Amino acid sequence: MPLEPLSNDEWVNDVTTHLGKSGATLRSKANERLTALGAAIPRSHRGVPVEYDITYNDTGNVVRGYKMTDLMTTCLWTAICMEVHCVNSLMWCIEQGPTEEGMEVMRKTAEASTDKYRQLTLPLKDPPKKIIIIPGSNLMLKRALDIPRMKRLVEEGCVIKPHPITNGLDMANLKRIFGEKNVLRPTQALYPLIREAEKLWVGGNSESGIVSMMYQKPYSVIGTVNGLYVPTYVAFYKAMASVPSSLSDHEKLGALFSHPESGLLSIFHENPEERMKKFFAQYDKFEHRR
């Protein structure tokens, strides 16, 4: 049975779409600046769709679709839904190294980025130094958490930052498993925590590792132990780990901001339409078919 769209215009900043995805958890008004950027991305390429915030992995050399997702209230990332080719493209960009222009775009992006959701809790007076950032209830249903590893990390002094769309039942379970004092509120603003942290652990579905690279914070990727879902940013993190380089992860990320073949698009990039043409052109050597 095919997936049904959440709205007639399932795209970044469509109100009905986000209501279906996050319910009563409202998104920040800072996301509104992505609406114009989203217009630079075509809804299809060579007869296959470019779909918003949906992840799947095809194998072989027939392209059946692309995905686009928003991150950090400042960026859109478009990727081919074929993990091996996506990783290869990202690795190629990293191997080219960052440009001065790309590093400057990343610097401006870091200054402007903020939480995607409206947060109600004031910054903590004594923010934790080691944080595990976990997905919301939608992915907990898919067993996206590595509970044994998280328990070990909590014993070593980590605290858990739940996603804003974590429901009350899952919050109760998290507190039962890890102890109430070790679980922050889901409404706690994330960006102030990341800026003050010494080390972060993130899931492959989370943009928080990308934020960590941008702010030059050490991070590790943790997540599902049974492979029941395809994490949104798994190709991103695989590419970072796969390129032997003297570059730091911060500089590798700068390389992805530098080269349009990465699919990473910031509100501070000039000529976004031209960047997207170069992104899609790299895959024109493959057959495209639904």
CB 262 within 8 A of CB 280: no
Q: What is the pTM of this model?
A: 0.90
Read off the pLDDT of residues 238-267 as tens digits, 9 standing for 90 and up: 999 999 889 999 999 999 999 999 999 999
Q: Which residue has the higher pLDDT, 20 or 76?
A: 76
Q: How far apart are CA 29 and CA 231, in angstroms?
A: 26
Q: Which residue has the higher pLDDT, 21 or 78?
A: 78
Which residue reads 């997207």 in tokens?
276
Read off the pLDDT of residues 116-160 as tens digits, 9 standing for 90 and up: 988 767 778 899 999 999 988 877 755 678 889 999 999 999 999
CB 99 within 8 A of CB 258: yes
Lowest mean pLDDT: which of 10-19, 100-109, 274-283? 10-19
Q: How far apart are CA 102 and CA 18, in angstroms?
A: 30
pLDDT for residue 141: 57
DSSP class of residue 63? Answer: E
Read off the pLDDT of residues 159-197 as tens digits, 9 standing for 90 and up: 999 999 899 999 999 999 999 999 999 999 999 999 999
**Residue 228, pLDDT above cutoff 50:** no
Chain centroid offset of residue 156 CA = 26
Apex CA 185: angle with CA 184 and CA 187, to 5°?
135
Dihedral, CA of residue 209, residue 213, residue 218 and residue 222, to nearest 10: 20
When pLDDT is averaged across residues 24-50 and rounded to a whole number, the result is: 91
Chain centroid offset of residue 125 CA = 27
Q: Which residues contact 248 (CB under 8 A, 6 or more apart)?
A: 216
Of all residues in the chain, the percent with pLDDT exceeding 70 is: 88
Q: Structure tokens of 17? A: 């779409």
Instruction: Provide the mean pLDDT of the chain.
Output: 89
**Residue 21, pLDDT above cutoff 80:** no
**Residue 114, pLDDT above cutoff 90:** yes
| Among 164, 131, 154, residue whose Cα is nearest residue 27 | 164
